[in-house]
Amino acid sequence: MKFIEITKAKSDDELRGILELQSANIRSNLSEEQMKSQGYVTIEYDFDFLKLMAKQHHHVIAKYGDKVVGYALLMDRSTNHLMKVGAGIFPIFEELVYKGQKLGKVNYVSVGQVCVDKDFAGQGILTRMYTYYKNSYKKFYDLAMTDIASDNHRSIRGHIKSGFEVIKTFIEPDVVEPWDIVVWDWRE
């Protein structure tokens, strides 16, 4: 097993490393077989938005030496309206009821996207990144939430293993396909 460091992305080079990994795993660049076996990401963020979306916090990354081999993006709610693609989920998040409370009334953080390099899959990196993510940000947020394409089974399994639960399946307004909303309650 290779030594993987879990840390926060603080440099422009680390942000460029995120974008490089994102590009290698974006759905439009993968075959059906690759998507099925390794999962995929759907939104292609640009450098400026990647820098802006975490606001005063940082994205969590996994590094092997200087190479970014995994990431868990943090999207502060104050930047949601700035998204060019994918913003259609936020009105759904706001109205969704979880444990008897509208999520719009809960202080949540949106996980903007996660990815692990296929050469480093199966090493527990996603769970390690999410543990670091929670430990770093639970004093600022009550829960983490994201949505995942329902056919991205590898990602859904990884999220559940990391502590998330599926709370709703819906038709995503921007791409008109089924997606699952997952939540990890940090108040417990």
Q: pLDDT of the chain along its 188 residues, tens only?
A: 568 999 999 999 999 999 999 998 887 887 788 777 777 677 788 898 888 887 788 999 999 999 999 999 998 765 555 555 555 566 777 788 899 999 889 998 988 889 999 999 889 999 999 999 999 999 999 999 988 989 888 899 999 999 999 999 988 766 778 989 999 999 97
Token couple for 19 = 């974008």
Which domain CATH number covers 39? 3.40.630.30
**CA 61 – CA 72 distance, rounded (Å):** 6
Q: Which domain does 85 fall in, by range?
A: 5-185
Give, as one character, the DSSP assignment of residue 116: E
Q: Number of folded domains in the chain?
A: 1
Q: What is the reported pLDDT for 6?
A: 97
Q: Within 4-56, where are the H helices?
A: 12-25, 32-38, 47-53
**CA 66 – CA 71 distance, rounded (Å):** 14
The whole model's pTM is what? Answer: 0.89
Token couple for 101 = 């409370």
Q: What is the reported pLDDT for 88?
A: 58
CB 156 within 8 A of CB 166: yes
